[in-house]
Amino acid sequence: MGRYDGRIAVITGAARGIGFGIATRLAEEGASIAVVDLDESAAAEAAGRLPVVEGAKAVHVAADISGGEAVDAAIAQVVDELGGLHVLVNNAGITRDSLLHKMTEDDWDLVMGVHLKGAFLMARAAQRHFVAQKYGKILTLSSTSALGSRGQVNYSTAKMGVQGFTRTLGIELGRFGINVNAIAPGFITTEMTDDAARRLKLDVEEFRRIRAEGNPVRRVGTPEDVAAAAAFLCSDEASYITGQTLYVDGGGRL
């Protein structure tokens, strides 16, 4: 018996990185998975690689989660193809880093659009199903950058916004059997942090080594580290936990 037997989870940005890690872990524990991502072929390829157990399924949906019509259609497609919905993981994310004086309106709007509007639209579409069945789990990715991060005023603001979003939905949705939590990862080895290394003109391995040295547990994080926490927070073992943000950062949050 897996913790997620019979459960259906939709995970945004799950074609790679942390989202794929969470999708893999939930699939291993019995869930059917919908991989939602921008790029259709990447989403299909990721869904095809998930270790789904017998009787479960993995499907993919190509959608930009910052648009309401696309999100409503994506959730409808998932419910239609998988037969329901129990877990929403708001993981899709982007960065558009620069210091304030160089930051454009587009840099601001794009980051807010994916992290905050995207999470709002996905949660609004999913809660219709969750409230009707009096069961649901919503998990959103925040970040240690929420606590302040030079060159990331857009991203930091969005990631702290995720924490307010989470607390508020925890209060609103608890009576309907819906748990709402967030995970704030520190440095995790994905394309997102590899891109940051390249922007800083650092070798990817060297960047990871520097970040590991400065971390209390002397290593950087992996998608599996985040997935382990996600699998707990979205499970019934965590049903008395809501509105919380769990830092998964090796203790190195500032």
Residues in the chain: 254
Nearer to ligand NAP (CB atom), residue 135 or residue 151: 151
Residue 241 CB partners (closer than 8 Å, separation 6+) = 179, 181, 233
Nearer to ligand NAP (CB atom), residue 4 or residue 207: 207
Angstrom distance (rounded) from CA 34 to CA 192: 22
Tokens standing for residue 145:
């950058």
Among 18, 47, 71, 79, binds ligand NAP (CB under 6 A): 18
Give least dist CB 54 to ligand NAP, A: 28
Tokens standing for residue 179:
């748990």
Give least dist CB 186 to ligand NAP, A: 6
| Residues 134-193, interacting with ligand NAP (CB under 6 A) | 141, 143, 185, 187-188, 190-193
Angstrom distance (rounded) from CA 5 to CA 167: 28
Q: How far apart are the first and last CA of the chain?
A: 40
| Residues 83-122, interacting with ligand NAP (CB under 6 A) | 91-94, 114, 118
Angle between helices 68-82 and 118-133 (to 10 degrees): 40
Angle between helices 105-112 and 153-173 (to 10 degrees): 30
Give least dist CB 238 to ligand NAP, A: 19
Nearer to ligand NAP (CB atom), residue 42 or residue 53: 42
- Write the interaction track for ligand NAP spanning residues 213-242; mark x where CB under 6 A is met and - where it is not: ------------------------------
135 is catalytic: no
Give least dist CB 49 to ligand NAP, A: 14
21 CB burial (10 A radius; 0-12, 13-18, 19+): buried
Give least dist CB 9 to ligand NAP, A: 15
- Write the interaction track for ligand NAP spanning residues 45-74; mark x where CB under 6 A is met and - where it is not: -------------------xxx--------
Angstrom distance (rounded) from CA 227 to CA 217: 18
Q: CB–CB of 183/141 below 8 Å?
A: yes
Tokens standing for residue 124:
């609004």
Positions touching ligand NAP (CB under 6 A) are 12-13, 15-19, 37-39, 64-66, 91-94, 114, 118, 141, 143, 185, 187-188, 190-193
Where in the sequence numbering do the catalytic residues fall? 155
